[in-house]
Each structure stands twice: as structure tokens, then as C-alpha cells.
Amino acid sequence: MILKGNINLMNYRHSYHAGNFADVCKHSLLLVLLNKFLEKPAPFCYIETHSGSGLYDLKSIESEKTLEYQQGISKLLNQNLKLPFLEQYVQLIKNYNKNELRFYLGSPLFAAQMLREQDELILNELHPETFAQLKNLLKQDRRIHLHQRDGYEALKALLPPKLKRGLVFIDPAYEMQQKEFSLALEHLLVGLQRWSQATFVLWYPIKHRQMLKSFYQKIKQSNVKKALAIELWILPPDNELSLNGSGLLVINPPWQFDQQATAVLKVLQPLLSQSPQSGFNLIWLKEEH
């Protein structure tokens, strides 16, 4: 069953979580992927299904309430990160801040800063207020196409785009909890059928490790050729009630992306860890032989 986005069910606001450990992991790995695409001069298309507002004020009531960014991006600032990808990630954030950290960037703004004149961005966001903020931020940029629509439905409607090369980033709010894993994967596979040469990335929360078993099993049983799961947990992943880690499923990862992702996680994990049982993992769920 394919559910359409229902605005009435959308209570999630990313401003509560902007810049947290999961954002740091997600966005730094996204940068690694975008850099891979930038290695070739041919233009490419970046498509996002669940874009958010693009820029978050860490002094907002929502951010001040959770202070999640203090366990995330704040831990990276003023560190000698010694890794060009992470230095670039911090620099892109510094570009939107003066002396101290006030604003954290959403994925569309990281991508918009990195993409070239010849590249294209297609950004979807369903929530009316969040979409208005995104539009306000990026409407002047001629490379960017903005849609206020259901991101899952967009995978059907907008794929394949005109440009042959590209990356699809699916970053749902998981308001449907466990059901969202199946829903997101189902739509990813529909999108992949339409644009088989693209790289697809799906973010997912890690609460209890057991909860990932059937998700991974479905990927193994699917007809995707290459699938890599990247996990980082900062707390023991054995409690269904808290966000202990996060993952990225990467379908058709670019050549050697796994090695670069490992190098990033080796630096991030000790910085973000909140427990001696923290760790990270790269799992090839499907590999072409």
C-alpha cells in the first residue's frame, strides 16, 4: 500500500533536532557523496524528498528547548578535524555564521552551496510553513526547483529527471515509526525502477538494533544490485524509546565511498560518543560480483 502524505499527521519539526549527532553524521556523509559526483564535469541532479526548511536558528524556542545541537555540531567546532570532508562540512556552516554558532544548515543548503552552475536541485517538502521557509531561502537560485508536495509521490512523478547522473536523498521524519521503514523502502524501489543508474540514500533512526533486522532482510531480498548500510550509534542501541544512533542506506554507492565514509566515522564516533558502548558499522547488504 502506498500512502499519500497527510498534512494533518505532520507534527514533526526539524528545528527541535537541527545540528544533533544524527544531522552531523547524515550531512557529513552527504558531503562525501556530493564530492564524489563533483569529481566529474558532467552535470548531475540532486533530488530531495523531505527537504525541511534549509536553515535553522539554534536560538529558536524549539532548539533552546532540546539543546540537541550541543551534543552534535558543537562538538566539532574548534577541533582539529584533520579530514578535508569534515573541514569542508564545518566551513559550509561557518559561511552562515559570524563569530559564534547561531545557524545550522539543512541538507538543501549544504547541497546548494556545493553544486555547480551546470547542476540541478529538485527539492520537495510537504509542510506548508516549512515549505514557505525553504522557498524564501532558495527561490532566487535558478538551479533549484521547489515543490510543495508529498516526497514519496514525487519519486514516482519526477523520476527520471532530464540529467542522467544524480543522487536522491530520502530523509523522512519517521512519524509512522516502524511502518515508515517499509513505506520509505517501497517508494525508494519504485524510484530506482525509474532511474536505475542513480544513487539513492535513505536516512533511518537506530533505537533498538533488532528493529533493523526485517528492514535489512527486505533489502537483501530486493533486486537492488549494490546496497550499503552505514550505522553510527552514540548510546547502546538497545532501547526502543530513545534515538541511540542513525543510519544511511546507500543504494548504488559511488566507487570507494565506503572507504571515505569509514574515514569520516572514525573521526566522528569518538567526538559524538556518549557511551563506552558507542560504535559504527558498514554493512554491505548487497554487493555486485
Ligand X SMILES: C[S@@+](CC[C@H](N)C(=O)[O-])C[C@H]1O[C@@H](n2cnc3c(N)ncnc32)[C@H](O)[C@@H]1O
Task: Supply the residues annotated as catalytic.
Answer: 171
Provide the mask over 52-71, with x wherever binding to ligand X is found by CB under 6 A and - wherever it is not: x-------------------
CA-to-CA distance for 133 and 136, rounded, in angstroms? Answer: 5
| Distance in Å, CB of 91 to ligand X, minimum | 18
89 vs 287, beta carbon nearer ligand X: 89
CA-to-CA distance for 140 and 258, rounded, in angstroms? Answer: 35
231 is a contact residue toward ligand X (CB under 6 A) = no
Question: How many angstroms from the chain centroid is the CA of residue 158?
Answer: 19
105 vs 285, beta carbon nearer ligand X: 105
Provide the mask over 165-204, with x wherever binding to ligand X is found by CB under 6 A and - wherever it is not: ------x-x-------------------------------
Q: Which residue in the set 68, 119, 120, 125 belongs to the binding site for ligand X (CB under 6 A)? A: 125
Cell of 260: 571515505
260 is a contact residue toward ligand X (CB under 6 A) = no
Longest dimension (CA), the chain: 51
Cell of 50: 523531505
Cell of 159: 523520476
CA-to-CA distance for 288 and 286, rounded, in angstroms? Answer: 7
Question: How many angstroms from the chain centroid is the CA of residue 55?
Answer: 14
CB 97 within 8 A of CB 79: no
Q: Which residue in the set 28, 51, 133, 199 belongs to the binding site for ligand X (CB under 6 A)? A: 51
205 is a contact residue toward ligand X (CB under 6 A) = no
178 vs 277, beta carbon nearer ligand X: 178
Cell of 155: 519519486
| Distance in Å, CB of 81 to ligand X, minimum | 20
Q: In angstroms, what is the C-alpha Rg of the chain? A: 18
CB 134 within 8 A of CB 57: no
| Distance in Å, CB of 41 to ligand X, minimum | 27
Residues facing 105 on adjacent strands: 55
Choose one: 36-44, 126-134, 242-250, 272-280; the region binding ligand X (CB under 6 A): 126-134
- Interacting residues toward ligand X by CB under 6 A: 5, 10, 12, 14, 49-52, 106-107, 124-127, 130, 150-152, 171, 173
